[in-house]
Structure 1
Amino acid sequence: MAGKGQHTHVLRADTGIKSAQDVLTGLRDALAQHQHIAVDTQAVTAADITTVQTLLVARRKAMASGGSLRLLEPVGAPLQQVLAAGGFLTPGQADADFWPATLHQPTDNPS
């Protein structure tokens, strides 16, 4: 990895299975050039389980190389929905520490 500073990698549009190869290639390129990556998901218009898997693989690759990959807050709504529906935000999940803490907080406002 060349750059030691933090790089922001922006995911845009559909990041699901149709675009999985492009998302993976973009993350792989960013990991090859930068040690620390922050992923911005605000422009994501569609996500699915492939998006989650791709982010987790990229995170593991970054960590194996002595770097880091984290998500910027707020996480885009399509990704939030996949994480919630897939049970990724429930306590005890293996990668729970990867998803921003704000996603783990209840969204209901008790009256």
Structure 2
Amino acid sequence: MLMTDERTHMLVLTGDAGIKNATEVATNLRQAIENHPAVAIDTRALSAADVTTVQSLLAARVSARAQGKELRLLAPLGGALQAVLSEAGFLTPGQEHAAFWSEQPDKPAGH
């Protein structure tokens, strides 16, 4: 499901966003970034996620930044993504991408 407003495009990830559907997830992320200056991702409807999901989201973040665009996750995170982040240590203090997973909007490095 896709929703838009004038500034931010909302991409709702649903179902299984793990390795079986990694190509589809990556394609949806890429298209949203290519077509909009700002993208907000809603992960609450995910039924499954794995480290591939995390990698896809981080790659999309890097791609958006490289294009001068904004990519952020809406809070609260979906339970499936939250579980993967916790189990894999992505939420530990000092982790490089910890701010991306929090409620704070994605900000350029150094800000």
Matched, 1:6 2:8: yes
TM-score between the two structures when normalised by the length of structure 2: 0.86
Partner of 2:37: 35
Q: Judge conservation of contact 1:42–1:77 (CA < 8 Å) in 2.
A: yes
Question: Secondary structure of the residue that 1:91 maps to in structure 2?
Answer: coil
Partner of 2:52: 50
Partner of 1:22: 24
Deviation at residue 35 of structure 1 after TM alignment: 1.1
Question: Secondary structure of the residue that 2:38 maps to in structure 1?
Answer: strand
Match among 80, 88, 95 for residue 86 of structure 1: 88
String of CA shifts for 1:48-92, please: whole Å, max 9, x gaps. 000000000000100111111110011000000000000000011
Q: Which runs of 5+ in 1 are unaligned?
A: 103-111
Structure 2 CA distance for aligned equivalents of residues 4 and 66 of structure 1: 17
TM-score between the two structures when normalised by the length of structure 1: 0.86
Q: Give the % identical residues.
A: 52
Q: How does 1:96-111 map to 2 (within 5 A)?
A: 96-101=98-103
Partner of 1:106: none
Which stretches of structure 1, 4 residues or longer, exceed 6 Å deviation after superposition?
none
Structure 1 CA distance for aligned equivalents of residues 66 and 93 of structure 2: 25
Partner of 2:107: none
Deviation at residue 44 of structure 1 after TM alignment: 0.3
Structure 2 CA distance for aligned equivalents of residues 55 and 21 of structure 1: 12
Structure 2 CA distance for aligned equivalents of residues 68 and 42 of structure 1: 20
Deviation at residue 101 of structure 1 after TM alignment: 4.5
Q: Which runs of 5+ in 2 are unaligned?
A: 105-111
Aligned length: 100
Q: Judge conservation of contact 2:18–2:50 (CA < 8 Å) in 1.
A: yes
| Alpha-carbon spacing, 1:19–1:6, altered in 2? closer, same or farther (3 Å) | same
